[in-house]
Amino acid sequence: MKRWLLGLAAVLLLASPWPTSAAETAYEWNVADIYPSEHEWMRDYKTVKNALPKLAAFEGKLDDAKTIAKLFALNEQTARKLEKLSLYAHLKRDINIEDETAARLGAKVEALAAQYAAKTAFIEPELLALPERTLRKLQKSKPLKAYRYYFHELREQKPHTLTKREEQLLAKLSPALGEAENIYDHAARGDYEPPSVKMPNGKTVTLTDDQYAAMLEHPDRRYRKAAFEAKAKSYEAMEQTAAATLYASVKADELYANVRRYPSGLAAALAADDVPKEVFDHLIAATRRHLPALHRYVELRRRALGLDRVHSYDLYVPLVGETMKPIPVETAKTLIVEGLKPLGADYIKQVHRAFQERWLDVFPRPKKYTGGYNTGAYDTHPFILLNYNGSLDSVLTMAHELGHAMHSVYTNRAQPYHYSGHSIFTAEVASTANEWLMLDYLYKQAKTKEEKLRLLIEQIEQIRGTLYTQVMYSEFERMIHDKVRQGGSLTADELNHLWLGLLKTYYGPAYAADPGAAHGWLRIPHFYDAFYVYKYATSLAASYTIVSDIQTDTSGKAVKRYKQFLRSGASDDPIRLLKRAGVDMTSPEPIERVLGHFAELVDELDRQLPSQNRQRST
């Protein structure tokens, strides 16, 4: 349901990618855009606190449209302020983990959010307890006209809603049902000790996640293999714990689905996004049909690297030896503006605003949060966190996060607060659409065969990692959920066997499935959020269709449809929103289309590789 009712969710130059110190502040957030000072923050804090008893006073009185409309209005005002309070503390902490003010304000707002959640917990249960006839009447009433889709969603929940006492009991049990993920996190991040390996220069390196990813790209195969085997060996020490926690998590998912009268955990997860099961089924089936193209790509890797077979530690090493020179941030900005021009002048105007008004915190600094994300509040502009390092991946990440930001900008201008969120099913469409546009632009601008080949492989890898890999993960999820629902258990040996079998199926005869690769399932935390990862694959397919239509349509209608999609927020279910953008995800056609493109890219790679010097890996 909507966030306001559930509380808070949450041209390359030879130069350095970093600006001079005099210009650094232009690449840092200005959190004063949210609150100029702590004094203003405290004023909103007190306003929210004072509103809580007023919200609680509505309990037991939700039986007419005017009363409900008054509650909704007060609840929205309160939630919007609470969202800003949380955002301010969150951003201050992420730019300096040791900021004592951020820690203090974060603790205060976290406690306030818990109080808010408790005071408003009655709203949906009370509405769901109303007779179906009353809910239909409320949905059509004039005072609640702006909430008609909300009531549509509410009515769809009703068959899966329990009695008041049962709902209270399930709410009390929820923390225990979700404890498996917490135990896994402690084992995988707290107790887990990453192994170390000795580099060719004699230096010993600890295999953190970042270091391990870098080592799998190392040109020395002996080193890649040593890193892979050390990591696989370290996983063996925690596989029994990981198997037990995953089994407990899947059991909880299936129990929850059963209690709420869903046929399976998959059905419950899909219902949460209003996604029909045929979407998931088409995704799996279409990807299976296109596995021969992935097998050909692995075979091309084998030939290019001069190997007898491709092992897991050979899947990420670059096929083009020369590395790209660092891309200065000013050049990245120019590339992004040029690459996104097909989306129209208004879109580019908002991108310029993002750069000019300091929506981005660009460069890594001591005590700053790692990684990247886009966030914001309904009453603020977006805030994008990056750790830009001048690589092509950094440029694509910047474009990706700007896609999320523009989605919020367009939505917030067009939708009321209660429809301003985005489901993952639609959110990743806006971000990956920008990546498709950038990759196409950069490929067309490339001057040398090396650059074109590198960008060609980048597109192939995007589809492999975001679609093929995520669909394989989704198949694994379906297998383990089916097994548990039918009364089976999940042991480490069984999970290893399932995982290794899928790897062999997906990567084909040129791939050598080392026993160490069987532990891959235990490093995927998303499995504790059931049937989440398939959305990355569907989003990539949807955005590919949208971008392809934009690039071939001379009338401007495709861009217009896409802008309307960006404006729609959460005002309808994601399938209908995408249909209006020209993508029918209930059909296998979008999946077939992007995987057909993958096959074309592999054909082009096959044509280009013979002109390159083949590597002989040691």
What residues are annotated to the active site? 401
Say how far apart CA 514 and CA 500 lie, in whole Å. 8
How many C-beta atoms lie closer than 10 Å to residue 438's C-beta? 25
Say how far apart CA 467 and CA 534 lie, in whole Å. 8
Say how far apart CA 263 and CA 438 lie, in whole Å. 42
CB 513 within 8 A of CB 498: no
Distance between terminal CA atoms of the chain?
55
Say how far apart CA 144 and CA 121 lie, in whole Å. 20
Closest CA to 398 of 441, 434, 369, 425: 434
How many C-beta atoms lie closer than 10 Å to residue 200's C-beta? 10
Q: What are the respective helix, strand and coil percentages of the chain, to the nearest 5?
A: 70, 5, 30
φ, ψ of residue 8 in degrees (nearest 5): -90, 135
Say how far apart CA 320 and CA 611 lie, in whole Å. 12
C-alpha distances in angstroms, 180 versus 133, 177, 190, 252? 40, 7, 15, 9
Write the DSSP string, 317-332.
S-SS-SPPPP--HHHH
Say how far apart CA 24 and CA 88 lie, in whole Å. 21
Burial of 89 (0-12, 13-18, 19+ CB in 10 A): buried
Say how far apart CA 374 and CA 612 lie, in whole Å. 39
Buried b (16+ CB within 10 A) or exposed e, 343-370: beeebbebbeebbeebbbbbbeeeeebe
Say how far apart CA 387 and CA 281 lie, in whole Å. 37
Contacts of 254 (CB under 8 A, 6+ apart): 264, 265, 481, 484, 485
Q: What SS3 class is residue 249? A: helix
